[in-house]
Amino acid sequence: MSSLVVPVWAWALLAAIVVFSIALDLFAHRGDRVDSKRRALVWTLVWVAVSLAFCGWIALHFGALAAEEFLAAYLLEKSLSVDNLFVFLLVFGALKIPAAEQRRVLTWGIFGAIASRGVLIFVGAAAIERWHSLTYVFGAILVIAAIKLLRAPSTDEDNAVLRWLEKHVRWTRTLDGHKFFTRVRGLRVATPLFLALVAIELTDVVFAIDSVPAAFAVSEEPFIIYSSNLLAILGLRALYVVLAGALADLRYLRFGLAAVLAFAGGKLLLASWIKVPPLPSVGVIAACIGISVLYSVRANRRDARILQLGLRDMQAAELTPQQ
């Protein structure tokens, strides 16, 4: 049951922060210039700072427990949003979307995600308030999602939405500047930008079916869940630029994400018997992601050393005179 009393002005403040942040981001990234990784990293840190400042404001007005719930939900959503980035890479690569246009698609995608997440969160909160046993269904969904994530990633499954759109939407493979639609032989057709946008929106809804129930594992307060979702989504575009080149090298990341989903699912399924406070949840989530990233980096360095030693052995063999 929801117990946090959130005044209307708090919702208005959240809306103002989101609108101002998006406006600032659009102003700072106007034009067709492609962000460098360094600039994207700065913006990623800016979004994290905004989120932490909002967390401090929650602590001041609603108490430490609410702030801990926000922090846990934010970290959870931020971690699971990395899975979205793989889809972004796949879609942009398949449709050959240039880097200068990827930013525009992601901006519109963020607008859609804000609306779709809001619907899912408030419907989920209302359903749980009426049928609290629904938390067990959410828990089961998360455990199943964790098991699916442990399997080897399937390009065919990830391409399913894109293939369906290509078959059912009249489109051209030729870009027409920034346009989502153009005319070919007098017919109005979609450009690859529109297909990329719809594919990203649809897959975000699919991912939200996993990530939103996961947020309910740390809080049942719609304000906490929605604000943490919004602030995690706002920094997604900059995070994509930072991680785009590194995602393929994080070979064990999906195991960390699966562990996060399993932990959230277990919390929901065992909530009647075991209560895990929000702050320890933050530690578990951070540990799951941190360990998976650490092992990925170590494995990449080990492979690089093995490759280097192999090349040295080959060079030494070529220089050794034949008897």
Q: Is the pLDDT of residue 178 over 70?
A: yes
Strand partners, 171: 190
Residues of the chain with pLDDT > 70: what percent? 92
Strand (E) or helix (H) holding 40: helix 37-62
Query: What would you report as the CA-atom Rg of the chain, rounded to the nearest whole angstrom?
Result: 22
Q: Is the pLDDT of residue 205 over 50?
A: yes
Q: What CA–CA distance (Å, rounded) separates 193 from 183?
A: 14
* Most confidently modeled range among 210-219, 233-242, 277-286: 277-286
Q: What CA–CA distance (Å, rounded) separates 170 from 172?
A: 7
pLDDT digits (tens, 9 = 90+) for 219-260: 889 999 999 999 998 888 888 888 876 777 788 988 999 999
Q: Is the pLDDT of residue 105 over 50?
A: yes
pLDDT of residue 1: 44
Q: What CA–CA distance (Å, rounded) separates 51 from 14?
A: 11
Average model confidence (pLDDT) across the chain? 85
User: Is the Cβ–Cβ distance between 175 and 51 less than 8 Å?
Assistant: no
Report the candidate in 250, 258, 76 with the shortest Cα–Cα distance to residue 149: 258
Beta strands in 145-232 (DSSP E): 181-184, 187-190
Residues of the chain with pLDDT > 90: what percent? 31
- Please spell the DSSP secondary structure of 242-292, one letter per residue: HHTTTGGG-TTHHHHHHHHHHHHHHHHHTTTT----HHHHHHHHHHHHHHH
pTM of the predicted structure, to 2 decimals: 0.86
Q: What burial letters (b/e) apply to 76-96, b meaning 16+ CB within 10 Å?
A: bbbbbbbbbbbbbbbbbebbe
Confidence bin at 73 (pLDDT 50/70/90) = very high
Query: What's the average model confidence in pLDDT over 30-49?
Result: 84
